[in-house]
Structure 1
């Protein structure tokens, strides 16, 4: 199973700057994931004008929570790709 450090190294800001792409292993299968910049701004205090370095630091700082939400979504709806948006982090 991949460690959080391995996943963090693989994380990258997408060229179109809509989100951060990362992968995780869930039930022994790789899953391509993306969290939107909007979600990082709304729930992880990312400055709207942040550069790539700050975006990735914010992602790493919130990775435990991001991974937990991703795994919860995958338990409910298994998939090979997953996009996390602000709706995934709002408390309903």
Structure 2
């Protein structure tokens, strides 16, 4: 799969998610992963500041993008919201 993650990764207003975008099959998809998912599956400590939130995202980027790609293919949508459920096996 030829997917690119755009360099712009930001924290949402309120700090409850990390926002990012991926390009997949020539389309730009708007994505987010919840703080709760990062806490549950990527060792983000509760009440972490924005810098730590972005670091947790960066550390788990490959896995997060892979899950976003799978969800995008399954749902055929251009907006992907990843929650803790998406990382449970």
- Normalising by structure 1, we get a TM-score of 0.89
Gaps of 5+ in 2: none
Gaps of 5+ in 1: none
Question: C-alpha distance in 1, partners of 2:86/2:51?
Answer: 24
Contact kept, 8 Å, 2:72 with 2:78, in 1: the verdict is no
Give 2:32's aligned residue: 34
Matches within 5 A, 1:1-92: 3-4=4-5, 7=6, 9-91=7-89
Q: How far did 1:2 drift?
A: 6.9
Higher strand share: 2
- Normalising by structure 2, we get a TM-score of 0.92
Contact kept, 8 Å, 2:30 with 2:80, in 1: the verdict is yes
Query: How many pairs were matched up?
Result: 88
SS in 1 for 2:13: coil
CA RMSD of aligned residues (A): 1.4
